[in-house]
Structure 1
């Protein structure tokens, strides 16, 4: 997000977007601007603050916005985010259009007021309705990520295009990302590079960084094998929330599986990462180690409630697509998990919520799909001959996609079985050596099922949840 509109020249020079009555305080704002220009002999921020304060108290909305910025940054006065928030609010009430962006930024960052994405979005929307460039961008940003509003790339793109007409380089960057990833419009590498290069040439660092990265974040999943019986060739990978049903005393053990990381809409899987999770419980508290492939283990501490697992003081630093060179700080916030037992295994699937502390906003949605052998303890897990079976999405709607690996070409028996042992779906067909992707469709009722693969005397099964 952009920072507050801090340039004192911008404070003095941005038009309201509507007629403001001429009042006696107008000369004060002009003089105050001179005292706040560090490049002149008149530079005196304390005096500049006093003059702006006098004009603001006299009812000048431009001065109200200016005094709020001075309070927020501690220029000519002590820092007071509470005073900044109040003066931004007064400026909007007086019709100063550009103050809507600043007020929304206070709500979005929790400065001088509790963090509130809904009120931030509402503030940006009011500024956008008056065609204020910063608010057009900010409203698009909130729509892009679904902060305080229903997530919509399509609506975000509309905002970015309007803001670009008013020379918003940050909107050029996000429009470039939409083209690169196929978010809200058809993916177009040439158009993506055009907008990223335009904003990069204007000095926008995020665009410069994106142009250095090989490929967009959304590289898509391998297509479903064509000609599959009872399978759709177009599969929805939508992220689904699950109802929490886990108790602390059920969680002891070592679990292995995958993390599925989604885009902001939850419609695209942008990464799948092998995960090892070691858990031990102490009454209603759970301690553990979270280890993603190729990364250091992260210690976890959490309390288990009836509605969620709530993490405490569990933070870590990691790079991501948009920050490949500098680690970003994240916190584990909560998890909604489903735990299912069968004769030989225990399965955990569900949603994990992270918070990006550097960005002061939630991270993209992610889910986990893990299993452990019921007969093995924390220190007794042994390697097994597996298919390297990955199921996604899990939970699923009517179509379930999965990938697996074969050492050699062979027939595979695929079965979907309910927990009473009844076979819901079954087919046998040959698959090639190496990695394979397959999909099956089922109109069975919502609930837990076992997906079972058998080939060459080996069997692998996982629990899947159907919405």
Structure 2
């Protein structure tokens, strides 16, 4: 871990922008203390100390360097709250690197509550000031709809501005699946080769094995299945993210906890980030029993995984302690892993009658 940090800080001193004239020498001396010389060992504590006069004067570079050391506890006791305070002061001076790091602080909750909207604001400012790493995170935010409305087109635009290898990976990913652009396997392969990341190497393996066509064929088969006593089938309306098909008679009921009681069987439909394309369909069965004090006991079975526990009922939703679900992961980024674990925190409930059948 320490070796990784040293490399990280090596990058920091090399990319620092212009400091106040009277602080340039202090920053240079700090770097000398941090890395050491041919005749002296690194002294991280001194590297931090010599920055503090300039940091106290409000020098953006000194503040940002100090914030990074405070964040990781290098040369000074770790203090994420003070790291956030210093980085904010530097970012408010329109210092691109500090704006970028402040965006990451808000993203991960370092010295502050997690705030994806504020993260996007600072990352966008940093990118406008030329920070290419910020452009990558902006693309990732739009890819998954984190702090911004989900948009593949916007994600692609941001990824194209960044040299980050993972930006190339996601460009390849989107071209392979046709997210925001027409499907183009050859472009996907080219971007993955440019990326060279383990993620892209694994995606190239999936492309070579024609994994997507196999998954699409399985999903198409499941969609066409007819409803039987053992199989609930897949209503086309569910695919369109509605609860019923057009023209079907329906009535809504005031949903109460007692309506959960009994056994339920259906299908769980997983969608990609825009919510428009199906990525997986799994059979699911649930059994609920109302108890006192707004508690509901349940048995939840999906993909051959059974979870039994109690949940809390409130505001037409169930709140779970830790309902674990294990899904197949056909496009895994990790060669040795082909499943992914999900933890369900809550489930909003609605009860409707469709063709004289109660539907949850």
TM range (shorter): 0.7 to 0.9
CA contact (8 A) 1:244 1:307 kept: no
Q: Deviations over 1:122-161 (max 9, x none)?
A: 1111112223101101111101111111110001100011
**Residue 34 (structure 2) pairs with residue 31 (structure 1):** no
How many angstroms does 1:205 deviate by? 2.5
Partner Cα distance (2:88, 2:194) in 1: 34
**Residue 342 (structure 2) pairs with residue 330 (structure 1):** yes
Corresponding residue for 1:420? none
Partner Cα distance (2:166, 2:347) in 1: 33
Higher strand share: 1
Q: Deviations over 1:50-103 (max 9, x none)?
A: 123333223221221111111111111222111111111111112210122211
- What residue ranges of structure 1 are gaps of 5+ in the alignment? 226-233, 349-467
- The total of aligned residue pairs comes to 328
Corresponding residue for 1:154? 153
**Residue 254 (structure 2) pairs with residue 255 (structure 1):** no
Q: Paired residue for 1:180, among 176, 193, 209?
A: 176
CA contact (8 A) 1:4 1:102 kept: no
Partner Cα distance (1:26, 1:338) in 2: 63
How many angstroms does 1:290 deviate by? 2.1
- SS of 2:264's partner is strand
Corresponding residue for 2:248? none
CA contact (8 A) 1:72 1:84 kept: yes
Partner Cα distance (1:6, 1:347) in 2: 57
Q: Deviations over 1:285-336 (max 9, x none)?
A: 222222222x321335322222432223434666633355346553212212
- SS of 1:78's partner is coil
How many angstroms does 1:236 deviate by? 10
- What residue ranges of structure 2 are gaps of 5+ in the alignment? 225-235, 245-251
Corresponding residue for 1:88? 87
Partner Cα distance (2:126, 2:89) in 1: 14
Corresponding residue for 1:191? 187
Kindly report which structure 2 residues correspond to 1:57-206, keeping only aligned pairs within 5 A, or say none. Answer: 57-163=56-162, 167-200=163-196, 204-206=197-199
Corresponding residue for 1:451? none
Higher helix share: 2
- SS of 1:331's partner is strand
Corresponding residue for 2:351? 339
How many angstroms does 1:342 deviate by? 7.4
How many angstroms does 1:257 deviate by? 1.3
Q: Deviations over 1:156-197 (max 9, x none)?
A: 10001111xxx2211101111111111111111111111112
Kindly report which structure 2 residues correspond to 1:352-391, keeping only aligned pairs within 5 A, or say none. Answer: none
User: Aligned pair in 2 of structure 1 residues 73, 316: CA closer, same or farther (>3 Å)?
Assistant: farther
User: Aligned pair in 2 of structure 1 residues 117, 96: CA closer, same or farther (>3 Å)?
Assistant: same
CA contact (8 A) 1:65 1:88 kept: yes
CA contact (8 A) 1:244 1:336 kept: no
User: Aligned pair in 2 of structure 1 residues 66, 137: CA closer, same or farther (>3 Å)?
Assistant: same
**Residue 207 (structure 2) pairs with residue 207 (structure 1):** no
User: Aligned pair in 2 of structure 1 residues 249, 256: CA closer, same or farther (>3 Å)?
Assistant: same
How many angstroms does 1:269 deviate by? 0.8
User: Aligned pair in 2 of structure 1 residues 275, 329: CA closer, same or farther (>3 Å)?
Assistant: closer
CA contact (8 A) 2:19 2:60 kept: no
Partner Cα distance (1:248, 1:23) in 2: 68
Q: Root-mean-square deviation (CA), in Å?
A: 3.2
Partner Cα distance (1:138, 1:346) in 2: 44
Q: Paired residue for 1:275, among 272, 284, 287?
A: 284
